[in-house]
Chains A and B, each alone.
Chain A
C-alpha cells in the first residue's frame, strides 16, 4: 500500500513539473529575443510588414502576454499542438507527432531493450566471475563497444548490411523476414494505427518492423549497453560482498540461489536510474542515428524545426519531450517500487 501511495505521489508531482517546463518553454519561445513571427516565412516568400503582422496575428502575439500564455499552455494541455509553418507547412502538429513519435518510441524501446538484455546479463556474468578470463573478455569488449562512436558504428553497420550478400554471405534484406524497402527507411508501423493490439495479432508485420529497426537500435543502444555492463558488473561485485550474502551462505543457501535470489535483485537497484536516464537520452538524442538510417523520427523533426526556425513547432515538440521525460520518470519509480521495498518507506 505504501508503495502504491508512493507511485501515486510521484504521478501527482509530475504535474507541477510539466507546468513549469511548459511555462519555461513558452517564455523562451515567445518572450525571447527572437520574434517567432519573423522566421515563419520560407526563403521564397518576401518578408513584408503585412505578412509578419499576419503571422503575429495568427500566433496570437498581438494579444497581451498573459492572455497568450494562458491560451497557449491550455491548448497544449488539451493536446492541441497548433500548426507548423516551415516544416510541412500548415500541417497539424498533433498529426505530425502521431506520425513521427511511434517511430522514435519504437527505436528507443528496442535500443533500450537490446542494451538491457545484452548489457546487464553480460555485466552480471562478468561480476559473478570477476577476475577470470571470461570477465576480462566481457569487460574489454564492453569497453571497446562503448568507445565506438555512434555515427561511425552506424555507417559501418549500414555498409555491412547493405553489402551483406557479398561481405557476409547472406542477404540481410531477405533474411527470415522480407524487407522490400532495404536496410534504411522508416519501420512500417502503420498497421498498428487505431489498433495497438495488432502488435500481437499480426506477428509478421511486427517482426518486419523489428527487423527494420534492429540495426539502428543496436547502434543507438551501444553506449548504454557498455554503460550498463560496467555498472552491472560493479553492482554485482559490491552486492557479493554484502553481509547478507555471507549470512545466506552460512545459512547453506546454494550458490545458484545466492546469485539469482540474493545478489541479482539487489544489483538491479543501481541500474534502474541508469537505464531510465539513458532511455531519455535515446529518445531525445537520436538525430544522428535517425539521419543515417533514414528514419523520420522525433529527433530529426525537432532538429529540422530548430535549424529552420520554426519556433512554434519547437515549442510544441518541447512539450511532447517534457511529457515523455515525465512518463519515463514514472516508469522508473514503478520499477523502483517493484524491485526495492525500501522505496517510499520513511521511518517514523
Chain B
C-alpha cells in the first residue's frame, strides 16, 4: 500500500531545498504540481479556474494536458509559469521545479528555465522588433551573449528550428514570416532561454495540418536533443496521441483522469475521456456520425460537492450529484489481473499510480450502482 505512494518519501527533503538542489531533484520529477489552486476574483463571482490540479513531468518526457476549451488548461499553464495577473491569484498548492518551490514568488529566479510557446504565434512576438532582436534579448538574459556572439547563436537557433536563410530572416519582423515560420521563430525564442521545461499551450491549433505535423516533429526532435520536459496542452486528442507519453484529462478546473498515453487510448476509464475519444474522427464506426458531448464546460465557482461532469455524463447516477469523486487507481481495471481497490485516496496520494480516474463508477461502494450498468449498456464505451 505504502509503496504505491512514494510521495510521502520525497516530499520531506524537497521542502528544504539545499544549495546544490540536484540531490533532491534526483528523486523528484523535473516539475511537480501539487493541488494547484488558481482563482479569479471578479465583481460577480470567484472562478476556481484551476481547482486542485496535480501533475508531474520528468525530464525528457512529454506530458499532455487535454480538455475542451474553458476547462482551465491555459490557466494551469500560466500558473506554472507565474503569469497569472489580476484579478487572478495562485492561491494554494505547490509548484516545485527542479526541487525549488515556485509558488512563494520565486518565479523570477527561474525565468527561462521554464519557457512557453503560446497558441497564436503572431501575438507571441512583439510586432515592432525584429525576430533577431527578440532572440538576442533572451540570449542576453539567459546566456549572457552579446554582439556578434549573440548574432551567431541566434542564427544557429533559427537554423535549429528549421528556418532557412537564417541570417536574413533574423533582420525581419514577425509580420514578414508565414504562420508556420512564426511558430518556429517563437520556439527559437523559447529555446534561447535555455529551458529545461517547455510548456506548449496549443502551439499547433492555429496552424494548418501539414504545418502542425512539422511543428510536432520539430518539438519531438528538440526534446530528444535537449532532454526537455514538455507540457503539451491541447484540446485535440489526435495531437495528444501523436506526441504525449502520459496524459492528464482536465475538466472544469480538475484533472479527471491520468494515464500513460497508450493506456488512456486503449482503456479510458472516465466517461469524459471516453466522450473525448469518441469524438476523434476514425475511432467510430464508418458512416456513423461523430458523437459529441452535449453542453458546455461549467464554470467552477464554488468548492465541488458533486461531480462537475454530472450534467453531461451519460453514466451519471444519483450519487454523482452529492459526492465529489476522488482519484482512484484504475491501473488494473479492464485488464486481466488482480484489482487493486485500495487506491481510494486524496489527490495528493495519486503520484506513482499509473492510471487514475476521478469517477464514482470506480469507487467500490458504488460498484453496483444502476448508473454503471446503464452506462455500459448505452455503449458509453467508445471502442
Contact = CB atoms under 8 A, between A and B. Distances in A.
Interface of A: 241-244, 246-253, 261-262, 265-266, 269, 339-342, 345, 347
B128 A252 contact: no
B60 interface: no
A250 B117 CA distance: 10
Interface stretch (B108-116, B265-273, B290-298, B358-366): B108-116
A247 B127 contact: no
Contact of A251 (B85, B130, B137, B176): B137
B137 A253 contact: yes
A260 to B, nearest CB: 12
Given A251-B112, A252-B142, A340 B128 contact: yes
Given A247-B189, A340-B128, A242 B141 contact: no
Contacts of B85: 241
Contacts of A345: 173, 175-176
Contacts of B114: 250
Interface of B: 78, 81, 83, 85, 108, 111-112, 114-116, 118, 120, 123-130, 137-138, 141-142, 173, 175-176, 186, 189-190, 193
Contacts, number: 73
B146 to A, nearest CB: 15
A252 B124 contact: no
Nearest to A241: B85
Instruction: Identify the 4 closest CB pairs spanning chains A and B, nearest first.
Output: A252-B111, A243-B123, A244-B126, A252-B112
Contacts of B190: 251
Contacts of A244: 123-127
B118 A247 contact: yes
Nearest to B125: A244
Contact of B127 (A246, A249, A266): A266
Nearest to B135: A251
Contacts of B111: 249-252
B175 A266 contact: no
Contacts of B115: 250-251
Contacts of A339: 128
Contacts of B129: 261
Contacts of A250: 81, 83, 111-112, 114-116
Given A246-B83, A342-B175, 10 more contacts: A244-B125, A247-B124, A248-B137, A251-B111, A251-B190, A252-B111, A253-B141, A339-B128, A341-B127, A341-B130
Task: Point out which of B112, B124, B128, B138 has the most chain A C-beta atoms below 10 A from its C-beta.
Answer: B128
B371 to A, nearest CB: 43
B178 to A, nearest CB: 9
A30 B213 CA distance: 70
Contacts of A251: 111-112, 115, 137-138, 141, 189-190, 193
B118 to A, nearest CB: 5
A342 B124 contact: no
Contact of B116 (A241, A247, A262, A266): A247
A265 to B, nearest CB: 5
B8 to A, nearest CB: 33
Most chain B CB atoms below 10 A, which of A244, A261, A269, A340:
A244
B137 A243 contact: no
A262 B83 contact: no
A261 B127 CA distance: 12
B118 A340 contact: no
Nearest to A266: B128
Contact of B124 (A243, A261, A262, A269): A243
Given A252-B141, A347-B175, A341 B112 contact: no
